[in-house]
Structure 1
Amino acid sequence: MPAMCPSSPWKCWSRTWRASSCTLRASACAIRRYVMLNQILALAWKDLKIFFKDPGAVALIFLQPFMFIVVMSYALSGLFEPGKGQIQLLAVNQDRGTQAAAIIRQLDEMDAFQVETTWEGQPLTREMAENLIVKGKRNMALVFPPDFSEVLEQAPGATLRRTKVLVIVDPATSSQFVEPVLGTLQGLIERSIYTAMAPKGLDYLFEKLAPQTPVEQREAFKTQAQEAISGGLLGGKEPVVTLERTVPPGMRVEKYPNSFQQNVPGYTIYGIFWIVSLLAGSVLQEKREGTFRRLLVAPMSRGVMLAGKLLPYYIINLIQLAIMLGASSLLFRMSLGHSLAGLVAVSLAAAAAATGLGVLVAALARTEAQVGGLTVLLLLTMSALGGCFVPRFIMPNWLRTIGLITPHAWALEAYQDLLVRGYGLWEVLPKVGALTAFATAFFSIGVWRFRFE
């Protein structure tokens, strides 16, 4: 039997020790991972229990996106569902012939338009249409002149007569809404012009150039030529019927508004209402620190105490409004209208409504999570309903009516009256009154529901 190497036992023991060490290290790593996983799960379970201890915050977390989805989906439903959300047009037919009625019928047969020639059972007049636009019930009206058919059917060779179709538009209506209507109407008018004037024009040419042409050949040529003309292959240098865009009487519009005048008011209102979060958060912090409890011993009413808390945020809101409107005017050359007094009155009332809503949220919320959730829920929903994100005129009628329960809708209409429609203080006073009523209601309910501990 051969002699064993003296180092062999040592090597064997070394190999065994290394294997055991690796096994121990692997076991230790597994134990550490298990402990870390348990710690992570314990911390997560702790935070979940804390979160679900506040049912109000839990409900708001899930309600926020749902409400926003519902409001925005209904507001934009007409843009994605064929046959819904038709553009509503008022049509005043003063034409003594039949051409205007034919164009109105063709517009109404299109899926994109709903043409109204009567209102509450009465035939529309120009005055009625203008009044409906001023009241905000409709955005656009077409007025066909009495001589519309006569101009379209005039005989060639005589002095060429021209006329205009008036398009009365609320200047707060965006160009993305107005231009497609004008383009469609222009196309229908041009087609009617060609269809009405082509036969007489061809007869005139035959009489002058080829009076001996047989009747059958004349009719065949007229049919082919009329199809080409009505299809737009031929055209004159200057149309006999033009579209004249105008606004209802009383609106001082020197030029039609740009994108800033149409968008700045909506996003400004959306921005100032975020003061709610700062105000409600500050009130909650003072409750937690006991500041209100100590102030209760002072000789002042609760309303005075809350008013003093509200005042600095009201001033901040006014500064925010001044900066946003002033910067838009200086940087983008946005017109601020003709009435500084009206602009000040609307801004004072809108800021009061925003800070009043902050008091109400502070009274209803009990935790920071509830403050954040309720603020986001209210502001996104009210902004969407009020038209800050989507123009209210493209919303369904029932949604427009619901939007009037928000201060955003009244503030936006008031700013558009001043910046876009050219109104003054007197015309916006009813909307200022509505905003003041919102502010009073928010503040009164907030004081009533407020707990100082």
Structure 2
Amino acid sequence: MLRQIWALTRKEIKVAAEYRGQWLLVFLTPLIFIAVMGATFGNTGAPTVAVYLVNEDEGRLGRQIVSALRDEPTLALEMLDSRTEADRRVGEGQRMAAIVIPAGLSEAVLTDAGGVIEVIVDPAREQSAGIVLGQVQAATAPMLINAEVERAVRTVFNTAPETFGFTDEDIASLGVDLDAIARFLAAAINGVVSSQVQDAIDDPLVRIDLQPASDVAPRQAPTIFDYLTPGYSVFFAFFLMGLMAETIYEERVGGALRRIFSLPIRRMPFLLGKALPYSLIAMLQVVIVFGASTLLFDYDLGSAPLALALLVVATGLAVGGLGILVSVLVRSEGQANSVPTLLTLVMAAVSGALFPSIQVPGLAQATPHYWAVQGFLRITALGGDLTDVLPNLAALLAIALVTFMIALWRFRGV
């Protein structure tokens, strides 16, 4: 069986070598995209709007801030129950940041010290945190103004009796409800405080406190290339699925499969011989793109070569497994030309391969792109080791195995 697999592998590599346009797409295009996107965004990191939100404040201000953040069109929020959970998920790289409204914020903003809203950031994407800070400040500006006015009015009424020499008994004898008057004036003044808007924004009562996620320290200050290199390398590696689908379809309609299966060969060695070459090509592509990025863009490969190598292998196997499944399922030339490309684009878009911080929750984890890119980021940008990427390796190998077994089950030869 090994001899059959090797013979098919050599044949398939020779066939793939004839598709020079595909080699250009897989090997050179990622570097072009990385260079162009890197020049466009500089070292600012990937723009992101997907964040977690935790509201631990039971007061009115906490609810207002949540409502305002939900109405902010540039923020995509996912609510979590606790700061601990948000800290853990951000530290794992699932989101670039988490906004935490702490308990007691509604009361704190009425004091001289004011209140604090925390923004927990992923250390690997800390340079992008300014995006979230600006969005939070813009969304909370009206609440900051209202809190400023309410605190000022309360301060005046709390100090008024002492200022004018009144005692509590004097006020009680007059039947004056200072709290009611304070609330009324606060509501009235809030409608005409445009002059305080800029002061409230420049020196807010609610400060935005930027903190790195605990237990995860960045090995270095990440650059845009820490995101683009693994993302676009994985993205374009999966374009090999199109070449796989085309070659198998051409062999089916041209009668080559019929001739092959007239020989004593089983389905498993045949499919392995078809998938393995493209897995090897995908591995080679990642190695070349990573190596070129190191030379051209000062891309750091991290300090865990074994983990990096295993992740490259697992990614290549996932390309081969998913590619052979798609190749088995397509039944027309149109499908062979369009389905692999469409699938590659969709998986890249939802997984974060184009920008790791822009993902579709739930769908992202179902793609090999997500596990590959996040694994590479953890090694290169976070300084992780083999234990840190074990879940990524397991997910990629599981995808490779499951897709290959489904292809084996569905394959009917000619």
The TM-score with structure 1 as length reference comes to 0.58
Unaligned runs of 5+ in 1: 1-84, 94-99, 155-160, 213-218
Equivalent-residue separation in structure 2 for 1:390 and 1:326 (angstroms): 20
Correspondence for 1:187 among 141, 148, 153? 141
Shift of 1:367: 4.7
1:144 aligns with 2:102: yes
Contact 2:50 2:77 in 1 (8 A): no
Equivalent-residue separation in structure 2 for 1:260 and 1:163 (angstroms): 37
Taking the TM superposition and a 5 Å limit, the aligned residue runs for 1:286-435 are 286-287=251-252, 296=261, 301-337=266-302, 339-388=304-353, 395=360, 400-420=361-381, 423-435=384-396
Contact 1:194 1:230 in 2 (8 A): no
Query: What SS is found at the alignment partner of 2:218?
Result: coil
Aligned residue number for residue 276 of structure 1: 241
The CA RMSD over aligned residues, in Å, is 4.9
1:243 aligns with 2:208: yes
Contact 1:145 1:165 in 2 (8 A): no
Aligned residue number for residue 401 of structure 2: 440
Shift of 1:245: 1.8
Shift of 1:246: 2.4
Contact 1:139 1:169 in 2 (8 A): yes
Shift of 1:86: 9.7
Q: Deviations over 1:43-81 (max 9, x none)?
A: xxxxxxxxxxxxxxxxxxxxxxxxxxxxxxxxxxxxxxx
| Residue identity in the other structure for 2:343 | L
Equivalent-residue separation in structure 2 for 1:166 and 1:351 (angstroms): 40
Aligned residue number for residue 67 of structure 2: 109
Aligned residue number for residue 6 of structure 1: none
Pick 1 or 2: higher relative contact order, CA cutoff 8 A, min separation 6: 2
Structure whose alpha-carbon radius of gyration is higher: 1
Aligned residue number for residue 20 of structure 1: none
Contact 2:65 2:143 in 1 (8 A): no
Query: What SS is found at the alignment partner of 2:59?
Result: helix
Q: Deviations over 1:204-240 (max 9, x none)?
A: 99999x989xxxxxx9x99989965872354799767
Moved more, 179-188 or 432-441: 179-188
Contact 1:166 1:244 in 2 (8 A): yes
Aligned residue number for residue 119 of structure 2: 167
Correspondence for 2:86 among 105, 118, 129? 129
Query: What SS is found at the alignment partner of 2:216?
Result: coil
Query: What SS is found at the alignment partner of 1:249?
Result: coil
Shift of 1:439: 1.0
Query: What SS is found at the alignment partner of 1:250?
Result: coil
Contact 2:230 2:373 in 1 (8 A): yes
Aligned residue number for residue 92 of structure 1: 56
Equivalent-residue separation in structure 2 for 1:205 and 1:429 (angstroms): 62
Equivalent-residue separation in structure 2 for 1:229 and 1:198 (angstroms): 15
Contact 1:108 1:115 in 2 (8 A): no
Unaligned runs of 5+ in 2: 1-48, 166-181
How many residue pairs match? The answer is: 346
Shift of 1:437: 1.4
Query: What SS is found at the alignment partner of 1:231?
Result: helix
The TM-score with structure 2 as length reference comes to 0.63
Contact 2:51 2:99 in 1 (8 A): no
